[in-house]
Structure 1
Amino acid sequence: MLHRPTLIDPRLPAVLLALASAGVLGAAFVFQYGFGYQPCILCLYQRVPYAAVLGFGIITLAFPRWRGLGDALLVASGLALLANAGIATYHVGVEHHWWAGTSACGATGGAALTLEDLRAQVMKAPVVRCDEIQWELFGITMAGYNVVVSLALSAFAFLSARLAYRAAGRTEAAA
C-alpha cells in the first residue's frame, strides 16, 4: 500500500517549509543579482533563518526514522522563522526611522589594517544603508513582506509540529 504523506507526517511540512525558504532565498538572490538591489546587513541577517529552515527540511528527509527528530526540527523551524520576523520588524522600523539601526547599518565592510586599505575599501564598496528603502510595492518594503511571510511560515511550522506530535502520541498509545 502506498503511503501518502499528510501534515501529521513531519516530512511533508518540512519539505513545504524548505521549498518556501528556497523560494524566498531565490527571490532575494534574483533581486540582488538580477535587478542590482544590494542588500544591507539586516537584509543579510534575514537570510540566515531561511537557510536554517532549508537545512532542517533536508535533515528531516535524510533521517525519517529517527523518532521525534522531524517534530523537533519543525519546532526549530518555527522558532527560526519567528526570530526572522523579529529581525524583519526591526528592519521595517529602521527603514521608517522609528528607531536607529545597528552600527553595522551602512558600514562598508571589515576593518582595514592601514589607511590606504581603508581608503581603497571605502572607494570601491557601495554603502548600503539599512534606513534607505530600495524597493517597495503598495507601500510595503521587502522587509515588511518578510515579516508577513515569516509569521505565516512560523505559524505553519508550529501547527504542523503540534499535529505530528499529537499523531505520534496516538500511534504510541494504540501500540
Structure 2
Amino acid sequence: MTTWFRQGSLRQWSLAGLAFCALMMGVALWLEHGVGLEPCPLCIFQRVAVLAAAAVFLVGILHNPHGRVGLVYAGLSSLAILAGIGIAGRHVWLQSLPADQVPTCGPGLDYMMDVMPLREVLATVFTGSGECAEVDFTFLGLSLPAWTLIGFIVLLLAPLGMMGRTLAKKSKNQP
C-alpha cells in the first residue's frame, strides 16, 4: 500500500484532492439549491474546511512543489481536512444525542455574525445548536454529516499521498 502512495506526483495528488473537494462542494450545493436543504451552522463550517483544503490543493497544482515544500502543502491541507473531520464528528455526535439532551436552538448564523464577535460565534456554534441536531436527510441509513465525515476521511488520502511521495523521494536521494 505504501508504494501506491509514492506513485503520484505532488501535482497529481493536489489535483485529486481538488477534484474531490469540488465533488463534495457540488453535492453540498446541489442538496441546498436542487433539493432545498438549508445548511445549519456546522454544515457551513464544514464547507469552509472543504474550501480551505481546496485552496491549498489549487496552490499546490499551480506551484508544483519539489522537495520538502510538498510537506508544507500536505500539512496545510491536512490541517483543513482535520478541522473538517472535527466539525463533522461534532455534528454526528450532536445528531446522536437523545432528544432531551439536545442543546436549544440559537439564533441563525447570519444574525450571530452580524452582532457577535467571531470568537463568540464559533463558541456558540461549537457548543451546540439544536438545529444542527436535526436529521433532515439520510442516504443508505447515514445522515449528511456522517457522509461528510466519510468524505473528509477519504480526502485525507491526498495529503497522505503527498507526504508519502515527498518522503519517498527524500529517502531515495539520501545515501
The TM-score, its normalising length taken from structure 2, stands at 0.75
Equivalent residue for 2:41? 41
The structure, 1 or 2, with the larger RCO (C-alpha pairs under 8 Å, 6+ apart) is 2
Identity %: 22
- Give 1 or 2: higher helix fraction: 2
Q: What are the superposed Cα offsets for residues 68-87 of structure 1, whole Å, 9 maximum, x if unpaired?
A: 33332122222321221111
Aligned-partner residue type, residue 76 of structure 2: A
Name the CA distance, whole Å, in 1 between partners of 2:146 and 2:61: 31
State the alpha-carbon separation in 1 of the partners of residues 141 and 71 from structure 2. 37
Q: Is the 8 A contact 1:13 1:160 kept in 2?
A: yes
Divergent runs of 4+, >6 A: none
What one-letter code is carried by the residue in structure 1 that aligns with 2:74?
A: L
Measure the CA separation in 2 of the matches of 1:160 and 1:31: 30
1:135 aligned to which of 128, 134, 137: 137
Does the 8 A contact of 1:50 with 1:81 survive in 2?
yes
Q: Which amino acid aligns with 1:173?
A: Q
Give the equivalent residue in structure 1 for 2:121. none
Deviations 1:102-141 (A, max 9, x none): x8x542332688xxxxxxxxxxxxxx81111110022210
Code of the residue aligned with 1:130 in structure 2: it is: C
Which runs of 5 or more structure 1 residues have no equivalent in the other structure? 1-5, 114-127
Partner of 1:85: 85
Q: Is the 8 A contact 1:75 1:161 kept in 2?
A: no
Q: How many residue pairs were aligned? A: 152
Contact 1:8/1:163 (8 A) holds in 2: no
Measured in 2, the distance between the counterparts of 1:110 and 1:153 equals 32
Alignment check: 8 A CA contact 2:21 2:53 kept = yes
Q: Specify the SS of the correspondent of 1:47.
A: helix
State which structure, 1 or 2, has the greater radius of gyration over its C-alpha atoms. 1
Structure 1 vs Structure 2 CA RMSD: 2.5
Structure-1-length-normalised TM-score: 0.75
